[in-house]
Chains A and B, each alone.
Chain A
């Protein structure tokens, strides 16, 4: 394990496993909320288009 390349790859592999696990929860939670917001915005603009002009 003295080879610097081995040390770098080892760190990167374990960091990647951690990062993927973290993103699933972090981005998963935030992106889920963004989908709800996006559908709400799109739904509202669709409703606004349907209404006849006053």
Chain B
């Protein structure tokens, strides 16, 4: 173990503060609206902190570190794309503006207003399926970071992650979005400090010139050898790196993710109004560059360090090299702070995701099937039970599933199960008056085919993730256009109205 008593004190104080703050917010929860969208009282800066904390999990740090190890700084090109996309969405209000104005709690709820109850239910199913599969690997990847960064025995991984999830579960199930917001705030602060300190220490440890030279040398040596060349460490457009095709697909994918991904959208829906949501997006956008680039820097530094010290030790992979390297770089005392920061990253993501998917299951899968509405207390109890159910699922699926290929591709493809189809429904529903329920149903089913085929057969038939991803967007669009044009147009709210009304009363 590389942790000293002072490290343990920092970690325990942090965990106790989070639990205390989360439980404190419980007293403000009066009903499902407070529980799911914080009574729509979210303002810009708290929104930024919450969005940043949720979208930067330990799983993010692991896969962006892996991209940095395998592709150098070029691996962070996706972060730059996200910066551009999120800023543009924040500037224009594309999708998020009308979505917030509609006054719904989840995306599928909007589909009932625009299409039909059946479309809402089916979309809810896809949202939950894609979201839960996506979240499934969070725990194991997070646990692997802790094992390698702290020197913790690997046998402890399951127990540590179970304990951590249990802690998150307590405050998420009791305080809902209100607890998530306040704990996200604490986690945002700690994560920010941890990431800045770690990045500075990594640069000081290796030396900036040595890092750049090391990456260049490895690239030149790989290009000269007859074996498989290493990816270009700086140029993401190079054929050995992502290449144009993959980056183009990622651009489309990130537009869909930033305007459709329910955990991100839940902050939009909790915002005071559309202007607050747009401002939140604009001000968070540059955060996404560091989200990829700073852990990517640690991964690239790990690559150079191990290359200069006899290669990657046995038992380490491109995924676990970065945390192992950090255990060398971080001194006693600081490692406690960084581990607490990484725990913060894991906890904020887990809480945000558990709450989001539980809200969708309650709001879009269960509520439409009820003959009469539940009493407010029963609604709360049911939503809390769903948070618990998701935690149990995570423990079992998350700790035995083996990721096919690299972690980033798995996350992109599972997210795509609903992103392609739900994005198509959202865009068509908000901006194309001719879109109808048949088109929506066809888009949902066709959009999910590509990613599901990749998940089941991707390894056997060597299907490229961008092919699976791009085909799902194309199929969803074809389904929407063909289904809508081949059947009757939707009934309009009024003769002068361009599309069925979506605004909340």
Q: Which residues of A approach B to under 8 Å, CB–CB? A: 1, 3, 5-6, 9-10, 12-13, 15-17, 19-21, 23-24, 27-28, 30-32, 34-35, 37-39, 41-43, 45-46, 49
Contacts and interface: CB of A to CB of B under 8 A. Distances in A.
A19 B497 CA distance: 45
Contacts of B290: 16-17, 19-20
A53 B352 CA distance: 37
A32 B178 CA distance: 14
A10 B287 CA distance: 16
A20 B234 CA distance: 22
6 interchain residue pairs of minimum CB distance: A16-B290, A24-B192, A5-B234, A30-B45, A9-B73, A31-B45
B42 to A, nearest CB: 8
Given A30-B45, A31-B45, A31-B48, A21 B38 contact: no
A1 B209 CA distance: 9
Given A24-B189, A42-B178, A16 B294 contact: yes
A35 B192 CA distance: 19
B189 A28 contact: yes
B41 A38 contact: yes
Contact of A27 (B49, B212, B235): B49
Chain B binding site: helix, strand, loop or mixed by DSSP? helix
B76 A17 contact: no
Interface of B: 25, 28, 30, 34, 38-39, 41-46, 48-49, 52, 73-74, 76, 80, 178, 181-182, 185, 188-189, 192-193, 195-196, 199-200, 208, 212, 234-235, 286-287, 289-290, 293-294, 297
Contacts of A28: 49, 185, 188-189, 192
Contacts of B41: 38, 41-42
B182 A35 contact: yes
Q: Name which of A42, A45, A46 has the most chain B CB atoms within 10 A of its CB.
A: A42
A1 B212 contact: yes
B188 A27 contact: yes
A24 B53 CA distance: 12
Given A12-B80, A38-B43, A43-B28, A21 B234 contact: no
B181 A35 contact: yes
23 contacts: A5-B73, A6-B234, A9-B73, A9-B293, A10-B208, A12-B293, A13-B293, A15-B289, A16-B286, A17-B290, A19-B290, A20-B195, A24-B193, A27-B188, A28-B192, A31-B46, A34-B44, A34-B45, A35-B182, A38-B38, A42-B39, A43-B28, A49-B30
Nearest to B286: A19
B184 to A, nearest CB: 9
Contacts of B196: 17, 20-21, 24
A32 B189 CA distance: 10
B185 A35 contact: yes
Contacts of B25: 39
A14 B185 CA distance: 24
A42 to B, nearest CB: 4
B46 A35 contact: yes
A32 B38 CA distance: 16
A46 B234 contact: no
Contacts of A13: 73, 199, 293-294, 297
B265 to A, nearest CB: 20
Given A27-B49, A35-B181, A35-B182, A12 B192 contact: no
B411 to A, nearest CB: 21
A14 B134 CA distance: 31
